[in-house]
C-alpha cells in the first residue's frame, strides 16, 4: 500500500523514511557500481581504476588545501570578534566534498568536485543556510525593552 490514511483526520500518512535510507544505502551504491562497470567497458579496467584513484588523490589534495584556507579564515574571524558562520558552513561543505571524493564512484566524484568550486559552493551554502534557518527556528527570548527610568526607580548620588 503506497499511502495510508489517518482514520480521524482523513489525511494521508507519509510513508516512513526507511525507503529513503534504503535508496541511499542500497540503490545509490548499485547505481555507482553500474556506472563504473559501464565506464570500464568503454575505457577498460586499468584506466577506470586509475581514474578512480586519481580523482580521490586530486580531490583529497584540493579539499585539504581549501580546508586549511577556510580554517585560517575561521581563526581570523574569531580573532576579530566576528561569528564565522559562513566560513564554518564552507568548512563543512569542503569536508563533505573530501569525503565524497575519497569514496569510489562517478556521481560522488562529480558532486565532490562541484563542492570544491567556490561559486558553486556559495550557491549551495546559501541554500543550505536557508534550509537550516527554516527547519530549525531558534526561539527568540522575550525581553522587555528598556525605555528609561520608571517613577519608582531611586537613584542615590
Task: Work out the angle between the directed axes of helices 45-79 and 106-115 (0-180°, nearest 10).
Answer: 30
pLDDT of residue 1: 46
Query: What would the mean pLDDT of 44-53 be, rounded to a whole number?
Result: 93
Residue 125 burial (C-beta neighbours within 10 Å; 0-12, 13-18, 19+): buried
Q: Check pLDDT > 60 for residue 3.
A: no
Whether residue 112 contacts residue 59, with contact meaning beta carbons closer than 8 Å, is answered with yes
**What's the whole-number average pLDDT of the chain?**
84
Could you state, in order of their start, the residue ranges of all structural domains in the chain?
16-135
- pLDDT band (50, 70, 90) for residue 20: confident
User: Bigger pLDDT: 132 or 2?
Assistant: 132
pLDDT of residue 139: 67
Residue 142 pLDDT: 64
Q: Which residues contact 2 (CB under 8 A, 6 or more apart)?
A: 15
Predicted confidence (pLDDT) at residue 70 exceeds the cutoff of 90: yes
> pTM of the full predicted structure?
0.71
Q: What is the pLDDT of residues 99-153, one digit of tens each?
A: 999 888 999 999 999 999 999 999 999 898 888 888 877 666 666 656 555 556 6
Residue that wins the pLDDT comparison between 22 and 6: 22
Amino acid at each position: 500500500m503506497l499511502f495510508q490514511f489517518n482514520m480521524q483526520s482523513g489525511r494521508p500518512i507519509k510513508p516512513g523514511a526507511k525507503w529513503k535510507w534504503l535508496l541511499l544505502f542500497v540503490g545509490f551504491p548499485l547505481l555507482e557500481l553500474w556506472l563504473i562497470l559501464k565506464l570500464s567497458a568503454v575505457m577498460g579496467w586499468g584506466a577506470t581504476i586509475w581514474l578512480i584513484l586519481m580523482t580521490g588523490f586530486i580531490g583529497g589534495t584540493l579539499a585539504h588545501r581549501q580546508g586549511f584556507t577556510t580554517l585560517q579564515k575561521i581563526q581570523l574571524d574569531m580573532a576579530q570578534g566576528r561569528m564565522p558562520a559562513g566560513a564554518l558552513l564552507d568548512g563543512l561543505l569542503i569536508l563533505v566534498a573530501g569525503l565524497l571524493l575519497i569514496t569510489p564512484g562517478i556521481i560522488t566524484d562529480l558532486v565532490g568536485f562541484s563542492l570544491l568550486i567556490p561559486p558553486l559552493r556559495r550557491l549551495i551554502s546559501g541554500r543550505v543556510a536557508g534550509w537550516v534557518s527554516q527547519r530549525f527556528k531558534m526561539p527568540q527570548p522575550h525581553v522587555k525593552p528598556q525605555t528609561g527610568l520608571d517613577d519608582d526607580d531611586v537613584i542615590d548620588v
